[in-house]
Amino acid sequence: MTSLLGSVRNLESRVNESRVAASVEVMRSIHRSLVRLQSAKTVDELLGSAAEEVITIGFDRALISTVERGRWNLHTMVIEKDPRLADEMVAAGREHPPTLDGTLVESDVVDRGEPGLVYDVQDNPRVDRTLVAISGCTSYGVAPINVGGRVMGLVHADAYYARRPVDNTDQSILNLFGEGLGHALARATVLERVSALTTTLSDLTGGAVSPTVHNSSYGLSGREVEVLERMAAGDSNRMIARRLTISEGTVKTHITHILRKLDAGNRAEAVAYWLRR
């Protein structure tokens, strides 16, 4: 019996050590993601990149949204295994932006500034029926993006392809990421305003507009520009993924967005358009 108790205690100790190690790795992953986001120069670029980073911290599907005047505005969704579904979700949300009038769970997250978990999604009366019907999800987590004491956006994520419900650990991870994203959003907002002011002063003094501002007028994020430049250089999706340290699925998602934004029918047209600039 003494030997058995000793074995059980040893096993419990190993399990606890494993959990601590896993928690430390998650914290490091979140830190690396937030550091990468610091390179964003505009709010649009930041929010687009943030959805990609949510995938790197342990989720299958991620949605980044903004909140303005009681409206939940979908910005970017990343689903590496199904980019078309991501685009369909965002398109549906933009066509009919959900109203945060207290009927949706997201209203509580915005009002309280606290994260939430949503279960039994397909039968839950407090979710947006259009979006959940398209996504097919059964549970998801949502965290606020808080800037200066005000919720400016939302981070949604689930583990759909892993076939597991989100839990309290997922909620904590999303909330921590959302807090860091809030700081990055405040920084990007300042940088964007400084850039706009610089452009205005440049116009008044007859100076040239900086390349960064010029590129942003095409609606491409910084990462999308990088992908397009690698496409123009003749790199395959695998090579682009390796050079930019992202997955091939993410590369495909970027290419889909690039084609849509440039109104190009294929890669060749997108590259030709870019080179003609």
Q: How far apart are CA 111 and CA 251, in angstroms?
A: 36
pLDDT in tens, the chain (277 residues): 455 555 545 655 554 554 555 667 888 888 888 888 888 878 888 999 999 999 999 999 999 999 999 999 999 999 999 999 999 999 999 999 999 999 999 999 999 999 999 999 999 999 999 999 999 999 999 999 998 889 999 999 999 999 999 999 999 999 999 999 998 898 888 777 766 666 666 666 665 544 443 444 467 888 888 888 888 877 889 888 888 888 889 999 999 999 888 888 888 888 878 776 6
CATH superfamily of 33-190: GAF domain (3.30.450.40)
Domain ranges of the chain: 33-190, 218-276
Confirm whether 33-190 and 218-276 share one CATH topology: no
Name the region of 40 (left: φ>0; alpha: ψ -120 to 50; beta: rest).
beta
Q: How is 60-113 classified by DSSP, letter by letter? A: SEEEEEEEETTEEEEEEEEETT-HHHHHHHHHHHHHSPPB-SSSSHHHHHHHHT
User: Would the pTM count as exceeding 0.95?
Assistant: no
- 3-state SS, residue 58: coil
- What is the third-level CATH fold of 218-276? Arc Repressor Mutant, subunit A (1.10.10)
Segments in the chain forming alpha helices (H): 2-37, 43-56, 83-95, 105-112, 129-135, 168-204, 211-216, 222-232, 237-244, 248-262, 267-276
pLDDT for the residue 10: 60
